[in-house]
Chains A and B, each alone.
Chain A
Amino acid sequence: MKVKFYFEELAYIFKKSISDFVFLSVVYFLTLLIFSSLIQFYAYLSRLQGESFKVSFMKVFFEDDADPKVIEAIRAYTEPLPVVDKVVYVSKEMAKVEFAERFPKYSGLLSIFQESPFPQNIEIRFNRKALGNDLIEKLTEFYSRFPAVSNVQHNYSSALKIYKLRKSLFLIGLWLFVTFLIFYIPLNLSFMRSIFNRERKLFDLVEYLGYEKKGLEITFVVASSMPLVIVSLFILVVFNLVSEVLHIPLFPIYLILLFFLLLQVIFSIDVLEK
């Protein structure tokens, strides 16, 4: 048997089942578009969360006359916490320098003060584990209750909001994905069966005529996967542009495309086996 035969049969399968393939292509396109968009949006939120997290910290401000032992005790308690990355004690003088560095435009204002007007504090930088379970809020309340602490402030609010949005998006995406698969699997299998049934006699006949049907089976798998491959390539091109613009990785898109391609090959083989 020659390769030419398989190509001709491939074309024949498409010609005969063109309406099925067109319908499946639309289903593939919408499926991949929706899930790729969700994934890219999730990746974008991850990027935003990361950026916001990088510049976020908590400040525990102390009274001027706070006992250094209390400050040290709070620092020593905080440092080994698993959600904490780094703890730095900032004296009044260091706070003044810090202000000048962070707000150089207003550093001239500081000249009117003999002494540093800023309170001593400890600066806490959390790791990502701190985003869950309202830990940052709980710690804020915890530090506020110390008598030597005058104020506790943090700028994790944006990171926390993005984190919550990301978490919700993940759950919605997962729910959508599972619900979708419940409909997608039988629908796709049914179309595959109907395409295969049109070829069933040919498969049997080929063996009766004395030739292996393996090549024809591979042709069927290729034919049934081809619309998805074409749609996948299109999606890949579109989302490659999106990922370049939003500076997000394309890797998850590859995963979702590979997942659906694998599913398609499994469906085709399952239809052939049965």
Chain B
Amino acid sequence: MAKSFSSTLSVLFSLRTVPVLTLMVFLLPVLAGLFSTIFPAFGYLPAIGQVSFTTAAWTQLFAHPALPNALLTSVSSGIIATLLSLILSLTFVAAWQGTNSFKRARQLLAPILAIPHSALAIGLAFLIAPSGWITRTISPWATGWERPPDIAVIHDEWGLSLILGLMIKETPYLLLMIVAALDQSQAKQRLKLAKTLGYHPVSAWIKGVLPVIYKQIRLPIYAVLAFSLSVVDIALILGPTTPPTLSILVLRWFNDPDLSYRTIAAAGALLQLGVVVGVIFLWWATEKAVSRLTRRWLANGKRSFAETPVRIFSRISLNSIFVLFFGSLLVIVFWSFTRRWQYPDFLPSVWSIQSWDRNINNLLWSSSATLIIGLISSLIAVILVIACLENEKRRKKSAGTGALWLVYLPLMIPQVSFLFGVQVLTIKAGIDATWLAMIWGHLLFVLPYVFLSLTDPYRQHDDRYIKVALSMGVSPTRAFWRIRLPMLLRPLLFALAIGFAVSVAQYLPTLFIGGGRFSTLTTEAVNLSASGNRRIIAVYALLQALLPLLCFATALALPNVIFRNRRTLREH
């Protein structure tokens, strides 16, 4: 009996079953959560005594006065942010690939991506608000504003600051995805060829490279689109308030003390999903149309395409993004050490560490919760992903593109649409507001990114090293530990850092699954952002940005220390 049990266990946890296990770990909760949202949306919610199926929630939802505007700002800000980010990153790569400015921009990508978007959004708010740093820099000598102008820059009803906040994070992300796609698609040779045929850089890139790599960046674009359409934390910090975007509206309904709002909330969550699916479909249809309409244009032989304007435009706008990014970080640092910073002073007049000092207990607690959840969930994710990829290597069979869609699934389903369901499930399972549930909840979002970051380096690792080891009589297990893992240490640590950064950035999962008993730096920072106390907000936002940055710095530096005497594995 015991023996059969242990053999069942060994089958369950053998390398072969890991891919299935991994899929279950992160797909089951997503799908189950989605279903647990569908039932209440149609009136089935035993908790408030409703057990019959009705469409009342939908009628209420569509009759809600805030809905039309909320829908409009969600859709418009989501599409515009994605479109602008895409145009910006594409034109920058088209105009500058292979130059020094391109290399410099590339190096900035990792730290930018490491920083949680809510920290950036907070910094951006400090920067562009009527009393923000930008106004202080130019007032009153240039503007004549003796007091902050009375304009709603943050929370503007058009969602413009929301769009800007999204773009600061998404342009670098898309840039990174494009660069990764370029590395895999012989882009350099294609570009050279097009140039020898007399094509100028931008047209050579748009006609010769873009159509090839678009396939590879399609899923990341959809993920960005889904994120922008349904984002919660950035929208809370920068988005319009009366009415807010759809996702915020849904969140408010979920949090309403009046439980009868739960059914409208569930219906709204499904509507949010519908919006994402619909817009992605629209985007896909536009892709098809554009590719059809431009077919003749691609081959019309014209050698140049607005070369100089594209070069100037892309350079200026990308630099502005970088400036906004670093400005946001800097202003957070300043505010966190400010005692007194009156308008329109350029810098604080009295510095102090009192904001840190007074919140030290809460800061320590939130930081340790952030660290524990982030490190454990990314470690689990890395182990699962390595097991999947090693299984793939040993069975000499790699997963198809279908698997990639599955990996992207949790990134494309809006968080509000299934996290409520997940919350219900954790309550039913009796694990609500436990470390287990928290770590699992974060794992859902960490796993896809870890998978995406580790797959290429792992698949590209030269198997002949392993073959040599095997031919010397070394077991596959020993070859894995002694050869494969050490050789892949750098990408492994990098994946761990990415996973950690993703976990740190999570707002909604912590909120929903934590049941109010867990506070991370991100939930604290976002929840405080409405308070207006810039000094305290800044302290949380700075720590929130610092932890992932430190993690990345370690991941980059550690291999150089370990391999200080190994030239091949050191960074050049």
Decide if A and B are genuine partners: no
Seen from chain B, the residues whose Cβ lies within 8 Å of a Cβ on chain A are: none
Interface residues of A (CB under 8 A from B): none
